[in-house]
Every structure is written in C-alpha cells, then in structure tokens.
C-alpha cells in the first residue's frame, strides 16, 4: 500500500494582499468546499447503495473526494505540540513552509453529511472508530499537480 506524507489536519485560508476577485467570499472557502464535496460524495455513495445493480457483481468501487483549485497550496510539517502552551508562539526558525501541487486534507465531517451505508468497522478503540466514521480524506489538487496526483502510487490496484 502506498503511503504519503502529504496528509494534513489543519487548513487555513490565507488572503493575499494583492487585489483579486471582488466577488470572492474570503475566509471560509476551504470549509465550504470540503462540506460541498462531502455532501455530494456521500449523496453519490447513497445513490449506489440504493441501486447496487449499477455496479457489476464482484467488482468494487472507490469514491474519492477531490477539490480542484487554482489557489496556491502551502504546507508545513511543523509539530504544533512544540508551540508554547501559554502563548501559542512557535519557533520561527523551525517553521518550514513549502508550496505543494496537491495534498490530502483530513476533513472532520459532521454527522449530517454522512451516508447511511454501513461501514465495516475494523477498529476496537474509540479513536479508530471516530476516525473511520467521521474523518474524510479529501484530495486538494492544483492544475499543475493534477498529473502527479493521478500518477501517484496509491491509485495502483494490488
């Protein structure tokens, strides 16, 4: 199984100081896009669950939420637990931010977005169960990253 380091749990909207789209909503774009892609994906899963004959017997289907964006993506592997607990300040000399073409965002979806399809729960602890039930990895991909994202090793069927 392919593993990736491009997996992130916190997403922040950062506004660029230059003039942009005057109709842009500003902050909250990531949350809105993640909610929308989860709502649509879970609706699609619900549809196929109600109409299983649409998937050939013996075959499997994988549903992957993807947000295509023209925004610049930046990522860091800074360990937030090392921030000062009383101020939240971080050691700037250890903060490395890099531009990326795509990444996986672990979105914590609300129960209202979930589909009713039964899940085969392999976890026996509350953390694992909650992760499987509510965390939805969403790919966020830029146009320049689309090719490398689609060529990544995790798409290969064993």
Per-residue pLDDT of the chain (158 residues; tens, 9 = 90+): 345 566 677 787 777 666 655 565 666 888 899 989 988 988 888 898 888 888 888 887 778 899 999 999 998 888 878 888 898 888 878 788 899 999 999 888 766 666 666 666 676 777 776 767 778 889 999 999 999 999 987 777 66
Q: Collapse the DSSP code of 61 into the 3-class scheme (helix H, G, I; strand E, B; otherwise coil) and give the result.
A: coil
At residue 140, the pLDDT reads: 95
> What's the mean per-residue pLDDT of the chain?
80
Burial of 28 (0-12, 13-18, 19+ CB in 10 A): exposed
Phi first, then psi, for residue 25 (nearest 5°) are -85, -20
């Amino acid at each position: 199984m392919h593993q990736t380091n491009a997996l992130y749990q916190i997403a922040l909207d950062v506004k660029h100081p230059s003039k942009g789209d005057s109709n842009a909503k500003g902050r909250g774009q990531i949350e809105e896009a993640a909610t929308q892609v989860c709502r649509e994906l879970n609706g699609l899963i619900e549809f196929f669950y109600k109409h299983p004959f649409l998937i050939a017997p013996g075959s499997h289907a994988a549903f992957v939420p993807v947000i295509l964006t023209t925004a610049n993506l930046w990522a860091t592997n800074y360990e937030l637990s090392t921030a000062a607990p009383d101020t939240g300040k971080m050691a700037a000399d250890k903060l490395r931010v890099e531009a990326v073409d795509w990444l996986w965002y672990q979105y914590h979806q609300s129960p209202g977005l979930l589909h009713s399809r039964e899940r085969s729960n392999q976890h026996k602890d509350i953390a694992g169960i909650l992760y499987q039930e509510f965390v939805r990895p969403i790919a966020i991909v830029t146009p320049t990253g689309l090719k490398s994202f689609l060529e990544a090793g995790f798409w290969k069927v064993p």
